[in-house]
Amino acid sequence: MPMNLKSPYRVVIKFSLAVALLVATAYGASRLKEAPQGQTRVAMLVAKMVERFHISHQSIDDDVSEKFLERYLKDLDPRKLYFTKADVELLRQKSKSLDDEIKAGDVSFAFTTYKLFTHRLLERIKKAQVLIDSEHDFNADEEMVVDAKETDWATEAELDERWRKQIKYDLLVLKLGDDSDADKVAEDAGAVKRDDADTPAKTLAEAKKRLHKRYANIVTMTKQTEPEQILEMFLTALTTTFDPHSSYMSASTLEEFQIAMRLKLQGIGAALRVTDGYTVVAEVVPGGAADADGRLKEGDKIIGVGQGEDGEITDVVEMKLSKVVKMIRGPKGTVVRLQVKPADGSETKIYDLTRQVIELKSSRVTGEIIDTGKRIEGRREKIGVINIPSFYRDFDAAQNGVADASSTATDVKKVLRSFASQGGVDGIIIDLRNNGGGALIEAIDVSGLFIDDGPVVQVKSSTGRVEALDDETSGVAYSGPLMVITNRLSASASEIFAGVIKDYKRGILVGDTTTHGKGTVQSVRPVDTEFRLNKSEPTGGALKITIQQFYRVNGDSTQNRGVTTDVSLPSLIDHFDIGESFLDNALEFDQVSPADYAATAAVNPEIISALKKDSQKRVLADKGFQRDERVISRYLKRKNRKTVSLNEEEMRREREESKADKDEEKDDTEKKPGENKPKEIFPDKHYNNEVLAIMLDYIDLLHKGTTAKAR
């Protein structure tokens, strides 16, 4: 039957031929493997699962298709430095057809577009390497646009100019160093310290050498991208058009997710990172095989990996970190051989290590008792601090009845018993800073340790039905004075716990003005068990999909708004654009009817007012917080700038201002190169000490004239 080549067929064929010709001409024979068998089925199933299970029950239609395409382009080229305007116009011809293709399992757009992106990246990096060695006028008064929202996709000539300025900026940053003082303020407030701040290069020649290496590494890593990673990015671009927390996880990403929940893996026990193409030991995990062996140190470079006692060593320099990690991990009892360049500069060595089950203890609940007399003059109270990094749970082990299955609630109970065995404490601080959430059941169980039986959280399903989930265990594990510390990175399950403590008036909240604002519940559903047609087909990873929305017992959602603190402290990250309200396609805040619960009398407006007043006096007089405020003030002045100066003296002046405000006190808690030093739970710093002071004020207000310790 003859085909009438009218729209949309003509457009589709024109698009396919145009992109295929462009890629074939510029890229030659494809250096990227085609999608492996099974990805068509995975795409079809993911599309079906999203429509069926997502809380919105939205169909994948033309509107979703447009958002889907734009999201994929943004994920590939967020700063609009690689694709040209003509490329994007060509790709947008598919904006109304991706919905039909994905439902039919056609993922060719993902791979064709990625090939085009790779080609453009190779073109641009080649030009960048030339620009690095070009002459740059660092005295010229010119600026570079840094906000991608303020730029459009560019022509070839416009991209050339963007890259000239980008290289000039990179060289200036390498010459002068990054603003490390802001990092310190953020770290003091509980944020994760950035690991990408460059130390100053001694000369312009050194800066150029380092920049050449950096861009060469970008090319190397891009070429090592696997088909499953491309599919993961593509399908996640689809799911995030529904909400920012729904995503497709490839088999390898799913494994990492499960490790994070179990807090167990089989390997040697070393956290790794990449620096200048080298795999570098970031941390030796206490109690692991590497720690017991004693030879591998933080800062060592792993340059080769071999399997078994006699296995050939494979060079891993400039190899993607995920591949190196996969080579080092393996079944318990097997041997892995590491070729190592020690951090101390000594000659290269070979270490044979026997893999074992590694418990990620640094990610588990930890606790310590602080003797306040050593930090705050005139005080003698004992304050227990419990750090909860996440709400983890080994679901498989728990289901199989394993006695010591990983569980946040179980570990918190152990710490509470430890406090009691040491003579008790006068108050407890729960540190939830940077806790991104985890298992809902763990948030409920941990809440039950501090409140008597009653509702903990309300959950609304896609049908609109609201159900209260209760702490069904009578009694509490601890009934004394309680404080919870949060920041903008405290999300999801953390917000459930913080909301419970606030609504029941069980304790006070201190930290950033509010938490992250993630009020949704995700379910992880393996793709190969949904609508499964053939059991012999390989796994297709899993879909993490938003299926419910949760609410505090007072009826408020935590969505977008988070949980506000009772006493807020100066914090740089409190001014960052971090939180649900800054994410694309985030669900809206709403409310349901309050649950039936009984609040205590441990908190009232008078107590909060007094705590705020006294804290503010101390903060205003504290040199550490004074420095923090100066850094915050400078940040706010720069925050809304759409451009950055490319004048060396101007950039140097900004950095000198930062250096002038650094603390004079030496931080003895920092690790020295090659030292495997355990991380402190609650370091002796001005921010943490003010938290302790607020806690002591709270104890005084609650128990004036009472010296009995809570057991």
Residue reference for tokens 């490319």? 646
Nearest to 688 by CA among 475, 487, 458: 487
Q: For residues 362 and 109, give the distance between their C-alpha atoms in angstroms, rounded to a whole number.
A: 42
**β-bridge pairing 247-249 and 542-551:** antiparallel
Q: For residues 695 and 491, give the distance between their C-alpha atoms in angstroms, rounded to a whole number.
A: 23
Q: For residues 497 and 494, give the distance between their C-alpha atoms in angstroms, rounded to a whole number.
A: 5
Number of helices (H), then strands (E), in the chain: 21, 21
Q: For residues 505 and 610, give the distance between their C-alpha atoms in angstroms, rounded to a whole number.
A: 16
DSSP assigned state of 538: P
Nearest to 204 by CA among 658, 648, 651: 648
Nearest to 367 by CA among 382, 346, 380, 355: 382
DSSP assigned state of 198: P
| Residue-wise DSSP of 285-336 | PTTSHHHHH----TT-EEEEEEESSSPPPEE-TT--HHHHHHHH---TT-EE
- Has 518 been annotated as catalytic? yes
Backbone angles phi, psi at 172, to 5 degrees: -65, -45
- Has 503 been annotated as catalytic? yes
Half-sphere exposure of 605 (CA within 13 A, CB side): 0
Active-site residue, selected from the candidate residues 65, 390, 407, 492: 492
Residue reference for tokens 């700038």? 641
Q: For residues 611 and 595, give the distance between their C-alpha atoms in angstroms, rounded to a whole number.
A: 29
**β-bridge pairing 278-284 and 143-145:** unpaired
Active-site residue, selected from the candidate residues 411, 503, 622, 697: 503
| Cβ atoms within 10 Å, residue 225 | 16
**In terms of C-beta density within 10 A (0-12 exposed, 13-18 middle, 19 or more buried), how is residue 521 classed?**
buried
Backbone angles phi, psi at 524, to 5 degrees: -100, 115
In the beta sheet, which residues pair with residue 455? 470
Hey, is 186 helix, strand or coil?
Answer: helix
| Residue-wise DSSP of 104-151 | TT--HHHHHHHHHHHHHHHHHHHHHHHHHTS---TTS--EEE--GGG-
Q: Give, in order, the Cα–Cα distances in Å from 6 to each of 9, 106, 108, 306.
A: 6, 21, 22, 58
Hey, is 55 helix, strand or coil?
Answer: coil
Here the contacts of 324-327 (C-beta below 8 Å, separation 24 or greater) are 324/272, 324/279, 325/272, 326/252
Half-sphere exposure of 332 (CA within 13 A, CB side): 8
Nearest to 23 by CA among 101, 129, 122: 122
Instruction: Kindly state the greatest CA–CA separation across the chain.
Output: 95
Active-site residue, selected from the candidate residues 184, 518, 544, 685: 518
**What residues act catalytically?**
492, 503, 518
